[in-house]
């Protein structure tokens, strides 16, 4: 692989105008496609294989024309103290508002008058009008939204309290200024790392091009593939982070090769051949984790994963081709001014074969000093890291999952105020009614949908926590009934979840007796089914992703224990990150600091999505940092020396990459979308834990304790595993470098270089495992 990438890098450098033109053309085509595409679809929660989804599908078949996908709004009215909604003046105000709602927009399908529909509370002080639209919330025009708000204002002018809930007022997620701040921080880190504006600008430029192509493509296909607005935002988040990091590693290696006296084209080829190999395998781990989300079989989650994976693939391709092309345009300006004035002469063959350990004592840096500190106290560092992450992970035991509704909106919004008014007037469970669909087509002889529905209503009404069971509504054929059940408890409570299970158990007994099937659906039931589906899918998902990545890392490191250590370290960091998410977004700790206006259950799909992304990113740093350690070990260094060598070359760049990724993810904490905010926070915290605690502390501590055992691989596996030359051993042999060349200055470590693909030298293995 390294040899192929070496040739690719040289080609891109030589044909830089052609390569750059191709990427600019792709960006232009994607941009035109995005500009001419239809509006994105509204977020949907289609969950194949669940009872709630089967009920929704049955409703579409048996009750056609209900426009279940259309936007809805609930305009809630509350009378002043001492009055009721039946007072003539209040009733007239409501009727005027209903008329304004009906005539205010051509997109309105129907408006249910509170007095005709009998949607008044028992005390008579609260009422609501249900507004149904012909289009989705994202397709509503500004004029329709303005008409809705103006109608509510007219009701307020009459002295009523009027608030509006539902999805008609939903808006596209906004990230605010924090996303820009994250990019600015990334730019500052790059300037500090490279000491040259041109070198710092290349990763930012290529990352923005990659994200532009990826997100524009997603936007162009959003209507065709039913992609939600959240999909493009998450693709932006992940694409920016990996795009900057992958370009950073290759530019760093190129600078190292230049300072060693290489010709520019040769340096570009070697940078792509060595650092590019690590980029390919790091990208593969991220793609595996994201594509693996398809096993959950939740369409929205699958599309999010595939779209983000596509953006990662684009980031890898840009790093391997556009970066060397732009390096050709940049010339010597990628180096600091001092390095341009005093170019380093090439190494002699004798110097190229000089052991790395000699240079460790000559040029110690912060990475060297930290590695030596950990090697002197491996047990203390290991215990401190594990205990610290374990304490942060404690809140994860209280994780509660749920789907967002108006109750999760900030308290100052009209949606949340409407939610609270309905809860006060009609009971906590009114905002999460359950829908029961009774299918009587297969009823036994003498039975009918009517008799079955009556029995369902009677027996369900006897269950605990049931406030109201509405009379059944039948379709035209009379073979299917629809009932609404209002719980006594709020939608996200354990009591309501138990009620869903209780209704389904009761319905099973009725189906046995009558043959009529009863399905439970609605947002609350869907939430229960989503949580169950995600719980059932978590173990198969982790087994698939961790298993494939374990095999991939065995090929990269040619070791059994190193991939195992990498997987265990990931579990520590991701559980700790989930604990931090629960503490902030569910418990409300430091909520004001992170702009969390309303605490509540964690979005159901967020944990498993975060697990997939964090696993891929965690393996990135494992590849970049540990590969350099293995390279040093197979060239004869003792295990401890190899760890120090890896940190000397890789710590600075890996640290910069982690800070950049954290700043990019943290930039999305300012999003108005609660799921984006949670994922941005969770990924930022997870990368911090994984990069600085797991990879920088626990990894060297474990390697110090394992010694030579860390690099053990059974001989039969050595023969079976393919030699992909991720460390560039074949490339260096082909180029006549002997045992390989150094990385040059301390900023050039990409975690790649030369190394034996078949494991440590047997003679070296007989030496004592000293640090």
Task: Indicate the range of 280-284, 515-519, 720-724, 736-740 predicted with least confidence.
Answer: 736-740
Residue 666 has pLDDT above 70, yes or no: yes
Q: What is the mean pLDDT of residues 483-495?
A: 87
Residue 744 has pLDDT above 50, yes or no: no
- What residues contact residue 44 under an 8 Å CB cut-off, 6+ apart? 69, 226, 228, 299, 300
User: Domain check: are 517 and 564 in the same one?
Assistant: no
User: Domain check: are 320 and 246 in the same one?
Assistant: yes
User: Domain check: are 517 and 535 in the same one?
Assistant: no
Residue 447 has pLDDT above 70, yes or no: no
Q: What is the pLDDT of residues 686-724, one digit of tens each?
A: 999 999 999 899 999 999 999 999 988 888 888 888 876
Both tokens of 767, joined, read 């030496």
Q: Which residue has the higher pLDDT, 343 or 412?
A: 412
428 domain-assigned? no
End-to-end CA distance of the chain: 32
User: Domain check: are 192 and 273 in the same one?
Assistant: yes
User: Domain check: are 78 and 212 in the same one?
Assistant: no
Q: What is the mean pLDDT of residues 369-387?
A: 94
- Angle of helix 299-330 relative to helix 606-634, nearest 10 degrees? 40
Q: What is the pLDDT of residues 77-109, one digit of tens each?
A: 999 988 999 999 999 999 999 999 988 888 888
Q: What is the pLDDT of residues 12-60, one digit of tens each?
A: 999 999 999 999 999 999 999 888 877 655 555 577 888 988 988 888 8
- Angle of helix 639-666 relative to helix 178-194, nearest 10 degrees? 150
Q: Note down the domain range covering 517.
A: 433-521
Both tokens of 369, joined, read 């000093």
49 domain-assigned? no
Burial of 468 (0-12, 13-18, 19+ CB in 10 A): middle
User: Domain check: are 186 and 242 in the same one?
Assistant: yes
Residue 342 has pLDDT above 70, yes or no: no
Place of tokens 């990368």: 687
pLDDT of residue 132: 87
Both tokens of 381, joined, read 């560092």
422 domain-assigned? no
User: Domain check: are 232 and 216 in the same one?
Assistant: yes
358 domain-assigned? yes
Task: Indicate the residue among 492, 521, 550 that finishes a domain.
Answer: 521
3-state secondary structure of 501: helix
pLDDT of residue 765: 37
pLDDT of residue 725: 61
Which CATH number do you get for residue 477? 3.30.70.1430
User: Domain check: are 181 and 162 in the same one?
Assistant: no
41 domain-assigned? no
Q: Which residue has the higher pLDDT, 209 or 741?
A: 209
Residue 597 dihedral angles phi and psi, to the nearest 5°? -85, -25
Residue 348 has pLDDT above 50, yes or no: no
The answer to whether 248 touches 271, Cβ cutoff 8 Å, is no
The answer to whether 660 touches 190, Cβ cutoff 8 Å, is yes
pLDDT of residue 758: 39
Task: Report d(CA 182, CA 159) in Å as an integer.
Answer: 46
Q: What is the pLDDT of residues 588-639, one digit of tens each?
A: 998 888 888 778 888 888 888 888 888 877 777 888 888 778 878 877 889 8
User: Domain check: are 607 and 752 in the same one?
Assistant: yes
Q: What is the pLDDT of residues 521-575, one digit of tens each?
A: 988 888 888 888 887 888 888 888 888 878 888 888 888 899 888 888 888 998 9
Task: Indicate the residue among 469, 486, 521 that finishes a domain.
Answer: 521
Cite the DSSP H helix spans in 170-196.
178-194
What's the total number of domains in the chain?
Answer: 3
User: Domain check: are 595 and 663 in the same one?
Assistant: yes
Which helix (H) or strand (E) is 220 found in, with range? helix 197-225
User: Domain check: are 132 and 251 in the same one?
Assistant: no
Q: What is the mean pLDDT of residues 325-350?
A: 69
Burial of 398 (0-12, 13-18, 19+ CB in 10 A): exposed
- Cα–Cα distances in Å, from 211 out to 201, 278, 311, 349? 15, 21, 7, 42
Q: What is the dihedral of CA 484, 488, 492, 495, to 10 degrees?
A: -110
Task: Indicate the residue among 521, 547, 568 that finishes a domain.
Answer: 521
Q: What is the dihedral of CA 557, 559, 561, 563, to 10 degrees?
A: 40
Q: What is the 3-state secondary structure (H, E, C) of 377-434?
A: CHHHHHHHHHHHHHHHHHHHHHCCEECCCHHHCCCCCHHHHHHHHHHHHHCHHHHCCE
Residue 652 dihedral angles phi and psi, to the nearest 5°? -65, -45
45 domain-assigned? no
747 C-beta neighbours (distance < 10 Å), count: 22
3-state secondary structure of 129: strand
What band does 184 get if pLDDT is binned at 50, 70 and 90? confident
535 domain-assigned? yes
Q: What is the pLDDT of residues 393-410, one digit of tens each?
A: 999 998 888 777 777 777
Nearest CA-CA partner of 95 in 112, 81, 71: 112
652 domain-assigned? yes
Q: What is the mean pLDDT of residues 381-403?
A: 91
Residue 752 has pLDDT above 60, yes or no: no
Task: Report the DSSP pairing between strands 434-439 and 473-474.
Answer: unpaired
Q: Which residue has the higher pLDDT, 443 or 433?
A: 433
pLDDT of residue 684: 92
Confidence (pTM) = 0.79
User: Domain check: are 439 and 463 in the same one?
Assistant: yes
Average pLDDT of the chain is 83
pLDDT of residue 175: 57
The answer to whether 9 touches 269, Cβ cutoff 8 Å, is yes
Task: Indicate the range of 69-73, 464-468, 652-656, 753-757 predicted with least confidence.
Answer: 753-757
């Amino acid at each position: 692989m390294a040899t192929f990438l070496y040739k690719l890098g040289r080609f891109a450098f030589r044909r830089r105008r052609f390569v750059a033109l191709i990427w600019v053309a792709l960006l232009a085509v994607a941009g035109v496609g995005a500009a001419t595409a239809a509006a994105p679809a509204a977020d949907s929660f289609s969950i194949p294989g669940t009872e709630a989804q089967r009920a929704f599908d049955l409703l579409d078949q048996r009750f056609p024309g209900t426009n279940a996908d259309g936007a809805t709004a609930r305009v809630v009215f509350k009378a002043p103290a001492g009055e009721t909604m039946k007072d003539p003046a209040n009733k007239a105000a409501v009727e005027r508002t209903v008329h304004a709602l009906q005539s205010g927009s051509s997109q309105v399908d129907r408006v249910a008058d509170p007095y005709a529909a009998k949607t008044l509370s028992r005390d008579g002080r609260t009422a609501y009008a249900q507004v149904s639209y012909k289009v989705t919330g994202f397709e509503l025009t500004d004029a329709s939204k303005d008409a809705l708000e103006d109608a509510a204002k007219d009701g307020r002018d009459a002295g009523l309290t009027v608030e509006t809930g539902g999805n008609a007022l939903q808006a596209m997620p906004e990230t605010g200024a924090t996303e820009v701040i994250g990019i600015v921080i990334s730019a500052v880190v790059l300037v500090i790392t490279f000491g040259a504006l041109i070198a710092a600008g290349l990763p930012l430029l290529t990352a923005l091009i990659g994200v532009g192509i990826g997100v524009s493509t997603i936007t162009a296909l959003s209507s065709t593939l039913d992609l939600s607005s959240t999909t493009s935002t998450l693709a932006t988040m992940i694409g920016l982070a990996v795009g900057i990091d992958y370009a950073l590693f290759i530019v760093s290696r190129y600078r190292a090769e230049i300072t060693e006296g290489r010709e520019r084209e040769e340096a570009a080829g070697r940078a792509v051949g060595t650092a590019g190999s690590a980029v390919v395998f790091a990208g593969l781990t991220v793609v595996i984790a994201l594509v693996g989300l398809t096993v959950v079989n939740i369409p929205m989650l699958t599309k999010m994963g595939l779209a983000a994976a596509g953006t990662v693939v684009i980031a890898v391709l840009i790093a391997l081709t556009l970066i060397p092309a732009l390096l050709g345009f940049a010339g010597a300006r990628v180096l600091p001014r001092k390095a341009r004035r005093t170019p380093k002469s090439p190494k002699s063959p004798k110097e190229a074969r000089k052991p790395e350990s000699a240079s460790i004592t000559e040029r110690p840096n912060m990475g060297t000093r930290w590695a030596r500190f950990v090697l002197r106290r491996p047990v203390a560092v290991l215990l401190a890291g594990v205990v610290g992450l374990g304490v942060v992970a404690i809140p994860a035991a209280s994780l509660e999952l749920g789907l967002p509704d108006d109750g999760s909106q900030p308290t100052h919004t009209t949606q949340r105020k409407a939610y609270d008014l309905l809860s006060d007037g009609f009971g906590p469970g009114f905002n999460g009614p359950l829908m029961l669909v009774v299918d009587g087509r297969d009823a036994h002889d003498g039975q009918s949908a009517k008799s079955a529905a009556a029995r369902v209503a009677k027996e369900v009404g006897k269950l605990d926590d049931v406030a109201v069971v509405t009379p059944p509504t039948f379709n035209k054929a009379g073979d299917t009934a629809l009932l609404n059940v209002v719980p006594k408890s709020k939608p996200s409570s354990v009591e309501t979840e138990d009620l869903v299970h209780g209704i389904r158990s009761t319905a099973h007994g009725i189906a046995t007796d009558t043959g009529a099937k009863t399905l439970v659906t609605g947002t609350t039931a869907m939430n229960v089914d989503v949580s169950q589906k995600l719980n059932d899918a978590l173990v198969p998902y982790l087994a698939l992703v961790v298993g494939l990545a374990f095999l991939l890392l065995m090929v990269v490191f040619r070791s059994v224990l190193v991939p195992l250590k990498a997987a265990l370290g990931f579990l520590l960091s991701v559980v700790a990150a989930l604990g931090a998410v629960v503490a902030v977004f569910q418990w409300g700790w430091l909520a004001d600091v992170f702009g969390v206006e309303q605490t509540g259950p964690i979005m159901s799909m967020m944990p498993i999505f975060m697990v997939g992304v964090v696993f891929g990113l965690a393996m990135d740093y494992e590849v970049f940092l540990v590969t350099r350690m293995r390279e040093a070990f197979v060239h004869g260094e003792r295990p401890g020396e190899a760890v120090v060598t890896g940190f000397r070359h890789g710590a600075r760049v890996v640290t910069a990459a982690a800070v950049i990724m954290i700043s990019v993810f943290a930039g999305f904490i300012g999003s108005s979308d609660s799921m984006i905010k949670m994922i941005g926070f969770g990924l930022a915290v997870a990368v911090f834990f994984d990069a600085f605690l797991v990879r920088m502390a626990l990894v060297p501590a474990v390697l110090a304790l394992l010694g030579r055992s860390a690099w053990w691989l059974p001989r039969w596996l050595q023969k079976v595993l393919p030699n992909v030359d991720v460390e560039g051993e074949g490339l260096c042999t082909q180029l006549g470098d002997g045992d390989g060349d150094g990385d040059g200055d301390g900023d050039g470590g990409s975690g790649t270089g030369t190394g034996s693909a078949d494991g440590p030298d047997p003679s070296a293995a007989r030496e004592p495992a000293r640090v």
